[in-house]
Amino acid sequence: MRLTTKGRYAVTAMLDLAMNADEGPTSLADISRRQEISLSYLEQLFARLRRARLVDSVRGPGGGYLLALAPDAISVARVIDAVNESVDATRCGGLSHCQQGDTCLTHHLWSELSEQIHGYLEGVTLGQLAGREEFRRIAERQQRRIDDDQIPTVSP
């Protein structure tokens, strides 16, 4: 099964946005620091997420990004789809040309698995993930690490 970095990073960044929604707009620089994702890569992803109307941008000081919909209205599958990714367990990208241009023996099995995975991810929302205790603990740890890194060190 393939889920590329693009899909994983998009879901991670959107979940970060959902978990920090109470703080107002979130800058991509903050997401970049917390999630250790390149800022330029996030800019590319958020351009796609904005076109898909999953995020809104706020300009100016204190600006950043906000979810365009409630976290419970944004499924993980929708985020992955927005960045032109797919969850595909076939070797042929679902095109049925796996074996020298023909459908291989197990193509339908892997194709059905891909559909099941997409269906599962369609049923999981950012709101559900953001509400889970283990996700909140990780987010708190990430923020503490960033906060600790920003404390100026005093040289003796």
Instruction: Find all residues with CB under 8 Å of 88, minimum gap 6, and list them.
Output: 1, 2, 94, 114
Q: Report the pLDDT value the prediction gives residue 61, as an integer from 0 to 100.
A: 87
Residue written as tokens 């339908």? 108
Q: Report the pLDDT value the prediction gives residue 79, as an integer from 0 to 100.
A: 97
Q: Report the pLDDT value the prediction gives residue 1, as an integer from 0 to 100.
A: 56
Q: Report the pLDDT value the prediction gives residue 87, as an integer from 0 to 100.
A: 82
Short-list 6, 65, 77, CA closest to 37: 6
pTM attached to this predicted model: 0.86
Short-list 119, 114, 43, CA closest to 78: 119
Q: Report the pLDDT value the prediction gives residue 136, as an integer from 0 to 100.
A: 93
Residue written as tokens 């987010």? 139
Q: Report the pLDDT value the prediction gives residue 9, as an integer from 0 to 100.
A: 97
Short-list 121, 85, 12, CA closest to 26: 12
- DSSP string covering 16-29, please? HHHHTGGGSSB-HH
Tens-digit pLDDT string for the chain (156 aa) = 567 899 999 999 999 999 999 999 999 999 999 999 999 999 999 999 999 999 999 998 889 999 999 999 999 999 999 998 878 888 787 777 777 788 899 999 999 999 999 999 999 999 999 999 999 999 999 988 888 877 554 545
Whole-angstrom distance, CA of residue 116 vs CA of residue 114: 5
55 burial via Cβ count (<10 Å: 0-12, 13-18, 19+): buried
Structural domains of the chain, with CATH: 5-149 (1.10.10.10)
Amino acid at 94: G
Q: Report the pLDDT value the prediction gives residue 2, as an integer from 0 to 100.
A: 66
Tokens of 64: 């950043």
Instruction: Find all residues with CB under 8 Å of 54, minimum gap 6, and list them.
Output: 14, 67, 68, 69, 74, 78, 79, 82
Q: Report the pLDDT value the prediction gives residue 154, as an integer from 0 to 100.
A: 53
Q: Report the pLDDT value the prediction gives residue 71, as an integer from 0 to 100.
A: 97
